[in-house]
Amino acid sequence: MTTSVTKTQLRLGVNIDHVATIRNARGGRHPDPVRAARAAAIAGADGITAHLREDRRHISDIDIDRLSREIDLPLNLEMAATPEMLEIALRHKPHAACIVPEKREELTTEGGLDAAGQTEHLRPFVEALTDAGIRASLFIDPDPIQLEASISLGAPVIELHTGSYAEQSNEAGLFRELTRIVNAAAMADELGLECHAGHGLRFDNVGAIAAIPTIRELNIGHFLVGEAIFGGLDSAISRMRAHMDEARARKSA
Ligand code: PXP
């Protein structure tokens, strides 16, 4: 597939959910995810991502309120397609809202949204977010059927689920999953969808994704918060930025 976008800045959205996971392990206020968002801004993040889950296992309603009021970076609110979450999004008006599938029993977001199978359920959510001036995004697997469904829903943005790529431990599996992402990102560009990606990205696997020229933003959380234990959050974020920028520069050189 041909691509029309060749050289674009790749944005880094830092997902701070797991700062809240650590705070909630003890209750209380430490560590504060809003402080992490401030540190992320200084370290070179282009946006902050937070997932307000139905069970509030990490990010809380107060966190969303404070992130909206206290942080200057664009906020990307990850949310399930439920009336409760839509009401919260419309109240806070984040820069973007990424609709994700959500199951109570899962450890993290497993698999992408079935946009093709849930078109009629999702349509009013995409419309309401768009009408409120919030960039609606759909977190989907790198699958042409899901891209077509995203277009039919009128979503301006998709985020490709990179979890399956990140889990591969051999060359053949990595190649297979990377090819799916490369093809989906090219298709998104042809369809006029802004393409983001995320889930399971680390220093060792981010380069191949960052090198895909039509991807505009990566959302990364768990690895950065884990790495922060060893070298600090600012170092983890600036090293991730450097990996992304190097891969992008190599590709467009
Ligand atoms: N993007 C979306 C839509 C997600 O649900 C998540 C996980 O919360 C991420 C990105 C970040 O994934 P990770 O924490 O594995 O970097």
Element (H, E) at 12: strand 11-15
In angstroms, rounded to a whole number, what is the distance separating the alpha carbons of residues 239 and 201?
A: 13
Distance 219 CA to ligand 1 centre (A): 6
Determine whether 78 is an active site residue.
Answer: yes
Q: Inform me whether the pLDDT recorded for 6 exceeds 60.
A: no
Q: Inform me whether the pLDDT recorded for 110 exceeds 90.
A: no
Mean pLDDT along residues 59-72:
98
Encode pLDDT of 195-232 as tens digits: 999 999 999 999 999 999 999 999 999 999 999 999 99
Determine whether 161 is an active site residue.
Answer: no
**Secondary structure letter of residue 217 according to DSSP:** E
pTM above 0.85, yes or no: yes
What does CATH list as the number for 11-252?
3.20.20.70
pLDDT at 8: 63
The catalytically annotated residue of 92, 161, 196, 199 is 199
In angstroms, rounded to a whole number, what is the distance separating the alpha carbons of residues 182 and 122?
A: 26
Distance 220 CA to ligand 1 centre (A): 6
Encode pLDDT of 79-89 as tens digits: 999 999 999 99
**Secondary structure letter of residue 236 according to DSSP:** H
Q: Cα–Cα–Cα angle for 100, 106, 107, nearest 5°?
A: 100
The CA–CA distances, whole Å, from 147 to 118, 129, 140, 191, 228 equal 13, 19, 8, 8, 34
Q: Where are the domains of the chain?
A: 11-252
Atom of ligand 1 nearest to the CA of 13: 10
